[in-house]
Structure 1
Amino acid sequence: MEPLYLQTNRLVQETQQCFEKLEKGGDANSDAIEREIQARIDSITSNCERLEILIYKEPLNRRTNGKLRIDQLKYDRMHLQAALDTYRNRRYQRLQEEREREALLNLQFRPSSSHETSILMDHGQKHHTSLQNANRGVDDLLQSGAGILESLQGQRVTIKSAHRRLYDIANTLGLSNTTMRFIERRAYQDKFILFGGMVFTLIVIGLIVIYFT
């Protein structure tokens, strides 16, 4: 087990040195260095798997220390693989930006491009006009909703006033307690109907605003 551990540890150090060459070498030999690094990482992975099997053949007093060393190798392998993936992603993004910049520099405008541009502008103007119309429609709906709410508030005041008048009349006429409770229960139900109508109106206005925006 010990020789395999030393060999794997040496592979980790050599792979780290390969990263230094990769950073200094530029794009000239980057493909070859990347393949070399990936091959070394694969070898480290294979060695770690073998070490995890061999550790159980060691004496009990050496297993704990051996397991810690194997875990360190596995951590180093993960770190190296992550560093390689990060380098590849950076390189791909750099190449993609270079291709896009090259394509932009080589773009040639044809005489018909002005016509295409005018079509795009007309389409944008129509879209802008449609948005303005939609905004005006939403404003009208909000104003209508505000008018409905004011009307409901006025009805609430009217109902309250009518309830007070009925109560006064009932006291004047000396109506029975059963009749009074019936009137109060009816007024209580009317209050729920009023609030329910207000909530329903607000929900409808909210849905219309969300739909149009």
Structure 2
Amino acid sequence: MEAGGGGGGSTLSEIYQNAKKLMLRTRDAMERLERLEYSSGSVGMDSPELSSSITRDITHIQSLCVEMDRLCRSLPSKSHRDLWKRKVEQVGEESESLKQSLDKYSLRNQKRMMEAKERAELLGRANGESHVLRIFDDEAQARQSYRNSARMLEEASSTGEAILSAMSGSRERLKKAHRKALDVLNTVGLSNSVLKLIERRHRVDNWIKYAGMILTLVIVFIIWRWT
């Protein structure tokens, strides 16, 4: 006996067959979605289009169950009503099982997205902290380089002062020797030409002395510029 409904609509058998076809398609889609979830290891992949299609099919199956339940209540034979009621309940249970599987998948996917977001935030903070540490290291190196340069400049300055002091002492000794030499020459009555020659030699010695002082200052300046 063919189960039918009022109003010239689809029969109970036709609705049931449509529901079974949708059930097979939805189950296959759910299996593909779960395979896709683990296809790339722990990271997983997502297919919003496939998830939406499964949701629509489950909703459609549940609406067909409601329609089949309405139709089977209008069957005149109790045995037919009981038979169709079991079939409708089975379809409803299968659709509910698929809905639970989809809900679990959605929860897992949401958890993966949250974990990925947290990892990205942690990585961003780690990169930021690393950048700050690099800045501190650069500043510390700059301060150390400045201290080294200051120390080298002080050493060069001390060396220059020591050289100038030694040259100053030498100048005093030369003056004394020059005066003694003049006294001796005057005593023995050397000619003016000899005296002029000695004075000229003294001026040359002074030029050499001042040139040495200038050269020392230039060396100190070069050391300071390159440190």
Q: TM-score with structure 2 length normalisation?
A: 0.46
- The TM-score with structure 1 as length reference comes to 0.49
Larger radius of gyration: 2
